[in-house]
Amino acid sequence: MKRIDSPPQKWRRVGELSELTLFPVKSFAGISLQDAECTEYGIQTVGDGPLKLRDRFFIVYGEQTKEFKTARTYPKMVLINVSLDGTDAVKLSAPDMPELRVKIPQPSENNKHERCTFWYGDTVETVDCGDTAAQWLSKYMLNQDCGMRLGYYLVDTMPRRVPFKEYMQCYKTLRSSDMGVYSDLCSFMLMTESSIDDLKTRMSSDVSIVPRQFRPNFLVRGSVPYEEDKWEWIKIGETAVFRNVKPCTRCVFTTLNPVTAVMDPKREPLRTLKGYRQVTDPAMLKVEGTSPALGIFMGLYHTGTVRVGDDVFVGDE
């Protein structure tokens, strides 16, 4: 008898992958990719070099409070770009700031490990990236010489996040291995163009939104609006297989323009989403509150390389 947590044998095509985006630092600008490797920690750049950019492996946190920081409070963060710089470092760039080379921390007894407060009082572990990076971030975000720190996740030396007990009770398909490093929850988030297009028709014509406001890793073209809500198993390309874990509930971050770093004064598209995409399931309300949902979080069941233009399939059993 086939196990309920086993991927299906039959698949039905529902669209194609139109955009693929990696976010190296939580709340920084995303990077558009043509292909990516899907690992249990999220997507990462493809290549033979020793260093790869990986999704949300960096985090910004307060020097004194040790609380993680996002563009919800510091909108300018979405204008910071990250790129690889050689075989052991990344380069940070932002408006009116000099470029900065940040060497990636390596496992060492001299590393400065920190415990940072995350969502709902949870904590995550990170390795501090040094005073130069901290000063650069503090200058850009606070116009001060200190206050912010940059942290990095070391896979082989740091513990994996554990899902909140309330989420495990509400979402039966959620596994510990589905948790992202510094993402809000899971390692992968998928959205569809059709759902975003339908959302646009419900808003005033003077409001402009782009998919990047929702920060999906995968954007799918060709599907029916909101049918992704009911997709259980998803396959992208030839080998990468995912399972729908839960709806992606939305917050004020969606009102932030990723190009200008300005929040919409009418709180769009969040305001419109609240009018017709509100969470209503009693169990979900208990853990999500009254947030609207758009897009889905996914867990990985089979690794693989995905490419823009790949067919997207759902289980057909």
Token pair 């509930």 is found at 249
Provide the pLDDT confidence category of residue 156 given band limits of 50, 70 and 90. confident
Asked if residue 3 is part of any domain, the answer here is no
6 belongs to a structural domain: no
Place of tokens 């979402």: 171
Least confident segment among 122-126, 188-192, 274-278: 122-126
Q: Count how many domains the chain has.
A: 1
Given a cut of 70, whether residue 4 has pLDDT beyond it is: no
The answer to whether residue 5 is domain-embedded is: no
Q: What are 37's strand-pairing partners? A: 44, 305
The mean per-residue pLDDT over the stretch 246-251 comes to: 95
- Asked whether the predicted pLDDT for residue 2 surpasses 60, the reply is no
- Report d(CA 44, CA 53) in Å as an integer: 6
Alpha helices in 152-288 (DSSP H): 165-170, 193-201, 270-276, 282-288
Structure confidence by residue, pLDDT tens digits, 105-153: 988 878 889 999 998 778 999 999 999 999 999 999 999 999 999 999 9
Give residue 198's pLDDT. Answer: 98
Please, are residues 148 and 63 in contact by the beta-carbon 8 Å criterion? Answer: yes
Range of the domain at 160: 11-315
- CATH number for the domain harbouring residue 146: 2.40.33.20
pTM: 0.95
Whether 188 is covered by a domain: the verdict is yes
| 3 state DSSP class of 137 | helix
